[in-house]
């Protein structure tokens, strides 16, 4: 059965929540200042993910070294959609690029990268639909930090609570506490660019 490419997210009319996991040194100043500040680096790519459970898989529920603090970063939908409109896939998908050279030329110049990975359920098993990761390069990361970010919340206490519930056999109770995510409405041209057609 072919995979479905969907963006599922917690969003409202003007904003969308994306997740990241950081060390205490980066996360706590970000939450305190409600924006990313040093030692957060503006000179390296940062990846944002609207799927909470995908980040839980990636960070092992905040257990991986350097990913102990899970942040919910609310950004503008205008910024999110600008990033997607600039994105180039991390692989040369047939039907989107003329050939490998076309993809490589675009990828080498890209300010934003998009990668699709299997979505996960609460126990970490892969699902049939794919979840999006968006990589922001240093050419655009200042916009993310200084213009798009509206709020930064530390979800680490929730993550620890969910992790305890799952490990104690209460996955059903944990599921009811997950952030509410629904399919994000996509501009058709951007959806085609991202391989969602």
- Tens-digit pLDDT profile for residues 137-152: 999 999 999 999 999 9
Task: Using alpha carbons, select from 116, 111, 114 the residue that is nearest to residue 134.
Answer: 114
Q: What is the pLDDT of residues 61-78, one digit of tens each?
A: 999 999 999 999 999 999
- How far CA 52 is from CA of 21, 75, 92, 131, 173, in Å, comes to 11, 15, 27, 10, 16
CA distance 43 to 120: 30
Q: Which residues contact 187 (CB under 8 A, 6 or more apart)?
A: 81, 85
- Which residue, 49, 56, 54, 46, is CA-closest to 18? 49
Q: pLDDT above 90 covers what percent of the chain?
A: 93
Instruction: With cut-offs at 50, 70 and 90, classify the pLDDT of residue 94.
Output: confident
**C-alpha dist (Å) from residue 147 to 95, 102, 119, 144:** 34, 31, 29, 6
Q: What is the pLDDT, as a whole number, of residue 35?
A: 96
- Residue 175 has what pLDDT? 95
> Residue 129 in contact with residue 3, Cβ under 8 Å?
yes
Report pLDDT for 1.
46
* Tens-digit pLDDT profile for residues 29-73: 999 999 999 999 999 999 999 999 999 999 999 999 999 999 999
């Amino acid at each position: 059965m072919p995979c479905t490419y969907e963006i599922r997210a917690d969003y409202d009319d003007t904003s969308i929540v994306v997740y990241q996991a950081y060390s205490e040194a980066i996360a706590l100043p970000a939450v305190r200042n409600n924006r990313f500040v040093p030692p957060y680096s503006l000179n390296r790519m940062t990846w944002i993910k609207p799927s909470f459970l995908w980040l839980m898989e990636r960070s092992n529920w905040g257990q991986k070294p350097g990913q102990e603090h899970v942040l919910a970063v609310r950004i503008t939908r205008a910024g999110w959609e600008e990033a997607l409109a600039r994105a180039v896939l991390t692989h040369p998908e047939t039907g989107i690029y003329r050939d490998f050279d076309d993809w490589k030329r675009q990828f080498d110049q890209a300010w934003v990268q998009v990668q699709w990975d299997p979505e996960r359920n609460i126990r970490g098993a892969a699902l049939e639909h794919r979840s999006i990761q968006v990589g922001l390069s240093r050419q655009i990361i200042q916009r993310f930090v200084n213009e798009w970010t509206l709020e930064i919340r530390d979800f680490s206490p929730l993550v620890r609570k969910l992790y305890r519930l799952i490990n104690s056999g209460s996955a059903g109770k944990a599921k009811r506490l997950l952030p509410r995510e629904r399919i994000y409405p996509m501009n058709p041209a951007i959806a085609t660019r991202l391989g969602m057609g």
